[in-house]
């Protein structure tokens, strides 16, 4: 049968890394080219549409040879790549906000069928009101379904993480889809200097996708996704549970190999720690709010306040043990959520609730966790916001009662 997802020949390959000024979306498009994806489906919605435009341009310029299919909506967009992946193709797609939600049925069956799809979510507020700005509720909507979910905070990390995503998703021990979340505007629409790895490095890092006995092909006749009743469903779910469990260690392997081959290390794959060594309190969050938080922390440090930052990178799998162990070193934790979960415990955002849950069963010190909802709909999270958050977390660290959920940057 035809060989799919072959590695790109060394035709006009650059032997050394180059640096390019590109957006986060473009960085992911470059990763698609380096990974030599076979099938890309597209349907426009801001801010994801930037990535489809860049991939499209690569195809038009003859830099990437793939099937590029513009679907009639997100549901078919995700279904088409799901089926392509079942046929052994390396696939890429993505969406944003309500577009992602429109694809929801396809999104639920993709992990269930163990399809290693890689998608970019250009994080966008869910309608209504129609808004382009970032919120994380779109990608978080699939958090329970078997999707591996990662948030990146720079174009460089977007490119690197896309390569890692292919490697982990397509690992036979995992075979689960992965969504790379890029904050709308801050990452998708802003250009930064990015090191482009060589094809040779990528070929060393990323093996060919091999669907093995699950390949849907006339030479390997199988039935995929038959009906199953209560005698089967639990066992099937348990298999996905095991796959997600394995994803944790496969991710670690991939990051270690990435550092070895590309000479760039991300340290702990699951979360990044910033100025935590001597910190009294830490702030937490996902995505590009890391920039104002880091700047705020540097300002506060000048005033003698020992604040650190833990940026959660991988939300699924969630490194609960490691995180709880790390957080046990601090007197209090403030989680800034760029999402909401109305009616949740203490009305907190999703990340704050997960962090509390991770700490609850930990044997170490359990610092109080304050939840902050900020930056919704793309609103700026400012440095003064960060200082305000820190002040409240310091109060909690001193044993003074603080509201468990606070809205920051709200007109009130």
Partner 1 sequence: MGRLFAIEIIYRGIYQKTLAKNISRAIVLAAHREGKPGISFGRYGDSPERNGIPAKNFAIVATDDVTLEEGMAKYEPKEVDITIAVDDTLCKGVESWAWYGLQPVNRLLKPGGTLIVTSRENSDAIIAMSHRKEYPYQLAILKGIPSFSGLWVYKDDHTDVRILGMISKILPELFSLKSVQATIMDEWHDPVKSTSAAKSHEHTSPITVQPSQGNPEVPYKFDLPKWHEMGEGIAIPSIPAGHAVEDPATHAAGGYRPDRNPTFKKFSTRTMRPVVNFDTCIKCTLCWLQCPDSCFDVTQEGLYDANMQACCGCGVCEAVCPVKECVTMVNETEFKDNSSQWEAWRKDKQTYEAWLKDKIKSHGERSHGFRYKGQYEEQVPEMLEIAGKD
Binding site for partner 1 (CB under 8 A): 112-114, 175, 213-214, 221-226, 228-232, 234-236, 238-239, 242-243
Residue closer to partner 1, measured from CB, 228 or 403: 228
Asked if 164 and 156 touch (Cβ cutoff 8 Å), the reply is: no
Tokens of 17: 């890394």
Radius of gyration of the chain measured on its C-alpha atoms: 21
Task: Classify each residue of 346-383 as buried b or exposed e, where b means 16 or more C-beta atoms within 10 Å of its C-beta.
Answer: ebbbbbbbbbbebbeeeeeebbbbbbbbbbbebbebbb
Per DSSP bridges, beta strands 18-23 and 191-196 are: antiparallel
Of the two residues 115 and 300, which places its CB atom closer to partner 1 in the complex? 115
Cα–Cα dist 109/86, whole Å: 12
Query: Please, what is the minimum distance in Å from the beta carbon of residue 87 to partner 1?
Result: 12
Q: For residue 401, count other CB atoms closer than 10 A to its CB.
A: 8
Beta pairing, strands 307-312 & 271-274? antiparallel
Nearer to partner 1, 221 or 343 (CB): 221
> C-beta of 229: minimal distance to partner 1 in Å?
5
CB closer to partner 1, 229 vs 303? 229
- We find the least distance from the C-beta atom of residue 78 to partner 1, in angstroms, to be 17
| CB 95, min distance to partner 1, A | 24
Closest distance to partner 1 from the beta carbon of 215 (Å): 9
Among 87, 93, 86, which residue's Cα sits nearest to residue 29?
A: 93
Q: How far is the CB of 239 from partner 1 (least distance, A)?
A: 5
| CA distance to 24, 196, 229, per residue, from 53 (Å) | 13, 19, 43
In angstroms, give the least distance from the CB of 231 to partner 1.
6
Identify which of residues 222 and 410 has a Cβ nearer to partner 1 in the complex.
222
Pick 231 or 277: Cβ nearer partner 1: 231
Cα–Cα distance between 180 and 136 in angstroms, integer?
A: 12
- Please tell me the distance from the alpha carbon of residue 291 to that of residue 185, in angstroms, as a whole number: 14
Cβ-based nearer residue to partner 1, 19 or 239: 239
């Amino acid at each position: 049968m035809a060989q799919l997802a072959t590695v790109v020949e060394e035709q006009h390959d650059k032997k050394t890394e180059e640096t390019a000024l590109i957006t986060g979306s473009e960085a992911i498009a470059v990763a698609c080219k380096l990974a030599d994806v076979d099938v890309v489906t597209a349907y426009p919605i801001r801010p994801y549409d930037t990535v489809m435009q860049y991939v499209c341009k690569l195809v038009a310029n003859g830099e990437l040879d793939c099937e590029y299919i513009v679907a009639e909506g997100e549901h078919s967009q995700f279904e088409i790549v799901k089926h392509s992946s079942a046929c052994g193709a390396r696939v890429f797609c993505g969406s944003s906000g309500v577009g992602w939600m429109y694809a929801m049925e396809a999104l639920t069956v993709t992990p269930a069928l163990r399809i290693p799809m890689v998608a970019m979510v250009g994080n966008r507020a869910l309608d209504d009101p129609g808004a382009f700005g970032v919120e994380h509720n779109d990608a978080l909507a699939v958090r329970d379904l078997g999707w591996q979910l990662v948030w990146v905070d720079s174009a460089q990390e977007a490119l690197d993480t896309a390569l890692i995503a292919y490697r982990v998703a397509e690992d036979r021990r995992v075979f689960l889809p992965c969504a790379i979340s890029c904050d709308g505007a801050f990452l998708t629409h802003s250009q930064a200097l990015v090191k482009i790895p060589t094809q040779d490095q990528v070929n060393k890092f990323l093996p060919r996708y091999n669907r093995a006995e699950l390949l849907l092909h006339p030479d390997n006749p199988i039935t995929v996704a038959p009906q199953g009743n209560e005698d089967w469903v639990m066992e099937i779910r348990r298999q996905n549970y095991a796959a997600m469990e394995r994803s944790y260690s496969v991710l670690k392997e991939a990051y270690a190999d990435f550092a070895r081959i590309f000479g760039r290390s991300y340290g702990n794959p699951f979360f990044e720690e910033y100025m935590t060594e001597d910190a009294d309190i830490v702030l937490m969050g996902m995505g590009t709010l890391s920039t104002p938080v880091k700047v705020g922390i540097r300002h506060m440090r000048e005033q003698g306040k020992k604040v650190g930052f833990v940026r959660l990178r991988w939300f699924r799998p969630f490194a609960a043990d490691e995180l709880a162990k790390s957080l046990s070193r601090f007197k209090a934790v403030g989680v800034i959520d760029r999402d909401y979960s109305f009616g949740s415990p203490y009305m907190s955002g999703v990340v704050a609730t997960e962090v509390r849950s991770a700490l609850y069963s930990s044997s170490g010190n359990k610092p109080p966790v304050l939840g902050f909802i900020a930056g919704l709909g793309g609103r700026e999270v400012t440095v003064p916001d960060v200082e305000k958050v820190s002040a409240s977390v310091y109060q909690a660290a001193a044993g003074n009662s603080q509201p468990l959920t606070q809205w920051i940057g709200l007109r009130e």
